[in-house]
Chains A and B, each alone.
Chain A
Amino acid sequence: MSKKVMLVDDEAGFTELLKMNLEKSGDYEVMIENDSMKALATARKFQPDIVLLDVVMPGMDGGDVQALFQADPILAKVPVIMLTALVDSAELSAGAVAQSGTSVMLPKPVDLPLLLRVLEENLEAAGK
């Protein structure tokens, strides 16, 4: 059965191409949310097995979104992988907040084989 991946990133083009890549293998079903403010509502409805979360977004940033997920009884158990174009200290510290939870950070541009491996490992660790 395919795993449910949720992408939260304001870059619509990026999410669209990532969705195509992930779905091509047939292993994943992907839901895109480009508006971080709606991420929680979308996640509650979609019930993802794993979340890929951008750090720098207008509205709420990745750290804020993750904090909301962690406060939700069901979503708190869902592993989160942060994606970022990690370039300055402000992002690093936002990332550090995320890393204190259960999540992993991956740099943008994303290395697809690495991402697929990280997805698998995290899904396995979460028992999915």
Chain B
Amino acid sequence: MEKLSIVESVLDNLPVAIFAKDATNDFTFVLWNKKQEEVTTIRSEKAIGKNDYKLFAKESADYFRSVDKAVIKRGKLMKVPDEILETKDGEEVHLRTVKIPVFDPATQRQLVVGISEDITEQVRSHEQLETLNKTLSEANRELQETQMQLIQAEKLESIGRLAAGVAHEVKNPLALLLLGVDYLSQGIDADDENVDKILTQMREAVERADRIVRGLVDFSSQRALTREAIRLPDLIDDVLLLVKHELTRSNTKVEVRPCKDLPPVFLDLSKFEQVLINLIINATHAMADEPNPKLIIEVVTESLDLVVKNQGARKREVFRSGDKVVILRIIDNGTGIMDADTSRLFDPFFTTKATGKGTGLGLSVSRKIVGLHAGELKIKNREDQKGAIAQITLPTKLDATVGVDSIVAKGVDTNPHKLAPSDED
């Protein structure tokens, strides 16, 4: 008897609820410890000798019974899915229970022993954590939306700056069209050799005007990040068309150094146009006092090891060793960057330009956009100190651009991101 009382007092002091039912006697309770009293708010004297149907609602009792029978049938420990027990006081208790079949040879009784852990606290903390997490995701989503809005606002600013130049570029084909119409409307001789030439010129003029206008419309469209497989030389061509007027007016010579066997990169076309336009316009401003302004745009692929060695530790966070990267450099022969400005280049609203010439958002937004593509934007002076280099490093692997995927997945993007295969390769 003393042995039994020791076991009972141990059972009563355990921090888990323990009960046992006699399967050979309609699953009546034969054991009901203190913690079980606590979680069920049913006293042991009331429970012993009764089964679930006497103690709990029929629906719950049916469920307990089916689990008990399954435990007996399988003859081994079973983990019961987490349960919520409503006490008489109307409080919810969350329980995590295991049930064990125990055969007592002395009495020939088949018992089902249950051990329930009260996980109410855990569940509450988890719920709180989830609420916090949700708030955090919401804040994060709002932040990303704000970033997208900032990018768009900056883009509208560059469209404003480009508009006059683009209008000029459209007026030229229009002028040509009008001359064509003038010529043709004067009456045409059957043997006039000019007619074919004029019609070809007119068709080309329409296509050119269309290309310029479409370029501007595409550029101005507000979309969340939408990646496509892009060939950088095509992107550079499109951008040069949009800034052609600025380059012509500033008398800037442009040399594009193409790269053989360039892999496609996965970019948001319109946002990357925004970056290149920013960098090119910046370069032309930096070359304003240069008698022979010259812009070099080069694209190269490099092995990562070289990049890491050249670019310092920060690179390691973005790229993995062995990755192939594409590097785009915009090299000018302007004034370069003053030492004092180096650390503030990417600060929002920092500008060395005259009022009205820049908002100071261009580089900060450009770096943000490049970062969203898991790339890196750096600005440095040329080694010969005769101008500056803007350098964009981009991963060639799609899975390296994780930042973009996560944004699409979080629902900021209303358009599914598309991955068009490259026309080439």
Contacts and interface: CB of A to CB of B under 8 A. Distances in A.
Interface of A: 10-11, 13-14, 16-18, 20-21, 24, 56-59, 61, 85, 87-88, 90-91, 108-112
A13 B201 contact: yes
Given A20-B183, A24-B186, A87-B167, A11 B194 contact: no
A59 B250 CA distance: 9
Given A21-B179, A87-B164, A56 B201 contact: no
Contacts of B248: 10, 56-58
Interface stretch (B22-30, B109-117, B169-177): B169-177
Give the bracket for the number of chain B residues in contact with chain A: 20 to 34
B249 A56 contact: yes
A108 B172 contact: yes
8 contacts: A11-B175, A20-B194, A21-B183, A61-B249, A61-B251, A87-B171, A88-B168, A112-B182
Given A56-B248, A58-B248, A85 B183 contact: no
Given A20-B194, A24-B186, A112-B182, A90 B175 contact: no
Contacts of B172: 11, 14, 85, 108
Interface string B246-267: 0111010000000000000000
Nearest to B189: A24
A58 B251 contact: yes
A112 to B, nearest CB: 4
B94 to A, nearest CB: 71
A20 B198 contact: yes
Contacts of A58: 247-248, 251
A21 B175 CA distance: 13
Interface of B: 164-165, 167-168, 171-180, 182-183, 186, 194, 197-198, 201, 204-205, 245, 247-249, 251
A111 B201 CA distance: 18
Residue among B172, B179, B245, B248 with most chain A CB within 10 A: B179
Contact of A24 (B164, B173, B174, B183): B183
B179 A14 contact: yes
Contacts of A17: 176, 179-180, 183, 198, 201
Given A14-B179, A17-B183, 14 more contacts: A14-B172, A16-B201, A17-B198, A17-B201, A21-B179, A21-B183, A58-B247, A85-B175, A87-B164, A108-B172, A109-B171, A109-B179, A110-B178, A112-B178
Nearest to A83: B175
Given A58-B251, A109-B171, A16 B197 contact: yes
A82 to B, nearest CB: 14
B179 A112 contact: yes
Nearest to B208: A13
